[in-house]
């Protein structure tokens, strides 16, 4: 069984594969200060809820946007899983040419998403990842990682609004009841959901102007479900895209 771990700035999403099938997955809040031992305990507890143990894990792969946690996951693999964990970074074979001025600047999750999307679609595509930031990662028809677009994320914007405007509360992100809010909460909710949907659509249209009108778009990330239903340019949503990309990269290495 293969363990795959996507460490984001806000959440960590991990799962287990048997062959090409994702059989289990979990999410928990990322804690940047966690040590290898704490990660091992967290992993053991969550595996135990599904009747699994370290002995079931034959290999592991990790992508991390938090550099120190990538190193801690590598140590946890050596200490508790008894094997070397593949951590996505420079020198790892992805099978994807990178057209970026400094490839070391690319977030591991962005590259992993691009690999998974192109493997699935086989032609030009764009991944829109709704995480701490909203990232747009285009891949060419020839399977090249072209670069990206990065915008502030939904939760960052909500927190900034609540902290900088004394009279505005922090809200739960659910679907707006109407476009024109009749309460302050409804007005914020409408502005955030429709505003970010509009941002996504506008950037995707511009990317399609460069890549071709038929360029496919895939959304992923923890907050995709809140925004994507209100967009017009997203073709499909896949909550497990990053985990699938980690499996593919592990196979290629």
List residues with catalytic annotation.
109
Phi–psi pair at 234, nearest 5 degrees: -90, 125
Beta strands 59-64 and 2-7 are: parallel
Under a CB-based contact definition with an 8 Å cutoff, are residues 173 and 192 in contact? yes
Q: What is the DSSP string of 79-106?
A: IIISSPPEE-STT---S--B--S-GGGS
SS3 state of residue 158: helix
Sign of the Cα torsion 79, 10, 89, 128 reads positive
According to DSSP, the residues that pair with 129 across neighbouring strands are 135, 220
Measured in residues, the chain has a length of 253
Under a CB-based contact definition with an 8 Å cutoff, are residues 137 and 127 in contact? yes
Burial of 77 (0-12, 13-18, 19+ CB in 10 A): buried
H-state helical runs in 27-147: 36-49, 67-76, 108-121
Six-digit token pair at 109?
């999750």
Which DSSP letter does residue 145 get? B
């Amino acid at each position: 069984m293969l363990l795959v771990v996507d460490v984001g700035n806000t959440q960590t999403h991990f799962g287990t594969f048997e062959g090409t099938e994702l059989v289990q997955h979990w999410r928990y809040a990322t804690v940047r200060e966690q040590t290898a031992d704490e990660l091992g305990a967290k992993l053991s507890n969550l595996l135990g809820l599904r009747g699994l143990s370290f002995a079931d894990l034959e290999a592991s792969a990790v992508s991390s946007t938090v550099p120190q946690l990538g190193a801690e996951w590598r140590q946890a693999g050596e200490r508790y899983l008894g094997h070397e964990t593949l951590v996505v970074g420079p020198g790892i074979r992805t099978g994807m040419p990178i057209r970026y001025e400094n490839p070391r600047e690319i977030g591991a999750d962005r590259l992993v998403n691009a690999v998974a999307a192109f493997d699935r679609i086989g032609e030009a595509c764009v991944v829109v990842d709704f995480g701490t930031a909203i990232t747009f990662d285009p891949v060419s028809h020839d399977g090249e990682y072209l670069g990206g677009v990065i915008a502030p994320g939904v939760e960052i914007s909500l927190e900034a609004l609540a902290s900088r405007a004394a009279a505005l509360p922090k809200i739960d992100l659910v679907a707006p009841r109407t476009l024109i809010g009749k309460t302050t909460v409804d007005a914020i909710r409408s502005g955030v959901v429709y505003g970010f949907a509009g941002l996504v659509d506008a950037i995707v249209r511009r990317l399609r102007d460069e890549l071709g009108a038929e360029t496919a778009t895939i959304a992923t990330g923890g907050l995709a479900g809140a925004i994507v239903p209100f967009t017009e340019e997203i073709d499909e949503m896949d909550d497990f895209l990053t985990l699938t990309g980690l499996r593919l990269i592990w196979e290629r290495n």
